[in-house]
Structure 1
């Protein structure tokens, strides 16, 4: 989630600046330096805590995973060189590369994988436990990690990628609080300095398994200043890489910068709690569905980079279900009729929309619902995450970056324990059996796409979510930085070069 409500005051949680090497990294003029400013600077460096949202892209500078995602969105080797399932499909063995070490010298082996999974499942503040419900246990056998599953699940190689299982040194992770301040992984870079919430300095990890293809010597990662100053900072060389909003893309291009459109699984929705009035009435839910004009979100918010969607996936993605497209087309008259039938004549229904920060999406929702006779009062709650994930809110907004495993994206939204299902423990009829069939279907099966789309279709019967629009991730970068791999949702530094002085 790239959501302001999840950004906590890290400076209050972590100790002041830590420096593992006693000072600043090499200056930007020495070697090949990436100067990345980001609006989603990590609030946590422990991947079990911080790896669930957009911050996993930055944590992947430090942490490697068993698998990673290629440009097709498929799982390919990372720390694991290969893997195979047993005949039944309820056990998978990952074979790790030999001779690898974490940056503290600890070996990368099956025991490290076992420790990472167990910590993600059991640590009290883990943001990942809900993603690992299929995992029963892990046996460590030298360089092998044998994962025992509670059900047949062929999604595991997708799931154990850069987002859900970034692996930290077991020795360092014995103190999660210290790991949160001083990350220790086996990724392409190692941290030399962290100033909580503000800045991190990293250097190339010569022991990374693919170090020959990492051509960046140092990274200076900073928390983005006011959006209005990011483009000028890129022009003057203060930064050479930054995530930007669609509204900034035109200015970035005019400034002579490259705008990299990174594909992703982003989708925004209106979240409803059907366990609370008035959404316990199906006609009110349907009225909201028909009141929504998705194209207005696209036109006003994405500046040509987004598209309307009524699903948690963008069009063209394997999980997108064409049969479900436009099931509830914009229809003001029909919405008004449903509200009247539900006992809410025009103007009688008042809702409180709770969000974490100012958001133009909220104003569009407010305007659109006003046209059908629903009055919306927007309330900003900086502690929004607590009541949202406790399912205490009635009406809210949410944006997701998705998961590498499409099945996990679906269960997160529509499953009875899904973190993004504001109406838990509700789930739509037929969804549980449909998602079970997805897990039981190998990813290379000719039936996989149709089985997955059927599960999407079953999930979209949910009355808890109304999807609105999706947009890719946008990056503005100096032309001295070469083209990045177009891996969906991930930022991959493999093969990327930075040439010439800024």
Structure 2
């Protein structure tokens, strides 16, 4: 769950020049449009810094990595886990062991078989590799055993979330042979997904071709992919107009221009949520009244209007409204009330302007400025401090006030524990946690996803988590995309970009 990566700067002219320079090289690889067949030209502001899914699969880049890697399960349009590499799975009677049954005859693009041993190696590497970004998601897994095409996941507790968890986001499975050299895998990905990489130009471009050995290759109608690091947001629309790209994520500020250009602009459903992160172990937030003052100072609709141009949603929880885990009973517990915020500060002994804090962020942006403005209206002065190495003090819990945005997890429980759990990476007040939260989460894990009361139990866990003083949620950013009309509609799988069944005409 890394913060939303901002677009890299650059001009369209540079992108065009780069495309021209690389053209001969890519054609030599036989992987661009000249080789024939439908070609996806994707400009991504989340171009992978890491192609090893253990390292790069925790942030928004998992969508791009899914071009190369498959997982045990994937998510359908209802958000439910459905078969991917695993054709089926079943739990033991106790609910503390789940067996995944893999499809027959699959192999990675290097010829290594996709079997139980490969999945076992993937789980163990995600748990043990020093630079793994996924180990915190796998704490329920005690061990894995494999026999042929069966993978048995032994759990530390009853946990019916595992099929939901081990999907595209958390366990994209790499070839165990290639993973013996993680540094090489990091720039030369080898998976069993719908496409194989023929060339990676680090930080700039990747060229891929359709994988004929992918288990669902019959439903992949794209022959080639050119994945490019997106230039400045203002030039993306021009690139889409001229055909340099035919698909891109989009800044909300560019949506109107994209529509005027005749492009398809759409929001892909997701779990995104942004928050103000607070450390209750540091003054002045060791006084709950100051924390509540921040809560009442937040005008969520202003975030939606000014940052998302109306495409986002206000949210006071780690999920957007309408999601299965969003708790209606907790909605609007702290309505926008700057007068109430000033009153609470006065009760805590602070006059307007007395509270002065650094708001530490990775880069200066409009979101930080909006937080600064809203807190100032309530009597809290903040200095926006940009720290390019912001992640180090954030995850070490060495900051007092910061901002964070996430793309969520397919398992709502993982999203909850990441925010509110004592070891949660997004809990700046760790090891602080709300009373009753762990018990509420344990009850969710013990409840099968198809149980009649599952949603009720899940929302109760969200309600327990929201007693935390560590986070003030603000808004849900949209997964906004633009594409040429030659590309058919994408499946509405929440948080994912799925190319199954998608066609590109006129090429």
- Structure 1 length normalisation: TM-score? 0.96
1:277 is displaced (CA, Å) by 1.3
Output the CA distance in 2 between the equivalents of 1:155 and 1:105. Answer: 31
Query: Where does residue 422 of structure 2 map in the other structure?
Result: 416
Query: Where does residue 319 of structure 2 map in the other structure?
Result: 313
Q: How many residues align?
A: 492
Query: Where does residue 14 of structure 1 map in the other structure?
Result: none
1:3 is displaced (CA, Å) by 3.0
Q: Does the 8 Å contact 1:23/1:193 carry over to 2?
A: no
Equivalent of residue 257 in structure 1, options 256, 263, 288: 263
Alignment root-mean-square deviation, CA: 1.6
Equivalent of residue 384 in structure 1, options 386, 390, 409: 390
Q: Does the 8 Å contact 1:199/1:220 carry over to 2?
A: yes
Query: Where does residue 286 of structure 2 map in the other structure?
Result: 280
1:411 is displaced (CA, Å) by 0.4
Structure 1 residues 452-491: aligned runs within 5 Å: 452-491=458-497
**Does 2:309 align with 1:303?**
yes
Q: Does the 8 Å contact 1:67/1:75 carry over to 2?
A: yes
Q: Deviations over 1:355-375 (max 9, x none)?
A: 111221111111111111111
Q: Does the 8 Å contact 1:20/1:193 carry over to 2?
A: no
Secondary structure in structure 1 of the residue aligned to 2:296: helix
Q: Deviations over 1:313-344 (max 9, x none)?
A: 11111100000000001111111111112121
1:471 is displaced (CA, Å) by 2.9
Query: Where does residue 243 of structure 2 map in the other structure?
Result: 237
1:429 is displaced (CA, Å) by 0.6
Query: Where does residue 140 of structure 1 map in the other structure?
Result: 146
Output the CA distance in 2 between the equivalents of 1:218 and 1:406. Answer: 34
Equivalent of residue 66 in structure 2, options 34, 48, 60: 60
Structure 1 residues 91-130: aligned runs within 5 Å: 91-130=97-136
1:7 is displaced (CA, Å) by 9.8
1:306 is displaced (CA, Å) by 1.2
Output the CA distance in 1 between the equivalents of 2:6 and 2:427. Answer: 17
Equivalent of residue 432 in structure 1, options 423, 438, 445: 438
Q: Does the 8 Å contact 2:249/2:482 carry over to 1?
A: yes
1:280 is displaced (CA, Å) by 1.1
Relative distance call for 1:383 and 1:423 in structure 2 (3 A) is same
Relative distance call for 1:323 and 1:387 in structure 2 (3 A) is same
Q: Deviations over 1:252-289 (max 9, x none)?
A: 11100011210000011000011111111111101101
**Does 2:168 align with 1:162?**
yes
Q: Deviations over 1:50-97 (max 9, x none)?
A: 000100000000000000000000000000000000001000000000
Query: Where does residue 441 of structure 1 map in the other structure?
Result: 447
Q: Deviations over 1:155-211 (max 9, x none)?
A: 000000000000000010011001001000000000000010000000000000000
**Does 2:98 align with 1:80?**
no
Name structure 1 gaps, 5 residues minimum. 9-16
Query: Where does residue 340 of structure 2 map in the other structure?
Result: 334
Name structure 2 gaps, 5 residues minimum. 9-21
Q: Does the 8 Å contact 1:4/1:357 carry over to 2?
A: no
Equivalent of residue 131 in structure 1, options 131, 137, 155: 137
Output the CA distance in 1 between the equivalents of 2:500 and 2:4. Answer: 30
1:5 is displaced (CA, Å) by 6.7
Query: Where does residue 209 of structure 1 map in the other structure?
Result: 215
- Structure 2 length normalisation: TM-score? 0.95
Q: Does the 8 Å contact 1:414/1:428 carry over to 2?
A: yes
Relative distance call for 1:303 and 1:180 in structure 2 (3 A) is same
1:27 is displaced (CA, Å) by 2.9
Output the CA distance in 1 between the equivalents of 2:202 and 2:4. Answer: 17
Output the CA distance in 1 between the equivalents of 2:135 and 2:365. Answer: 29
**Does 2:26 align with 1:26?**
no
Relative distance call for 1:285 and 1:25 in structure 2 (3 A) is farther
Query: Where does residue 374 of structure 2 map in the other structure?
Result: 368
Task: Identify which range, 278-287 or 25-34, moves more after superposition.
Answer: 25-34
Output the CA distance in 2 between the equivalents of 1:217 and 1:43. Answer: 24
Secondary structure in structure 1 of the residue aligned to 2:443: helix
Q: Deviations over 1:413-466 (max 9, x none)?
A: 100111111111111111000000000000000010000000000000000000
Q: Does the 8 Å contact 1:67/1:160 carry over to 2?
A: yes
Secondary structure in structure 2 of the residue aligned to 1:170: coil
1:25 is displaced (CA, Å) by 3.7
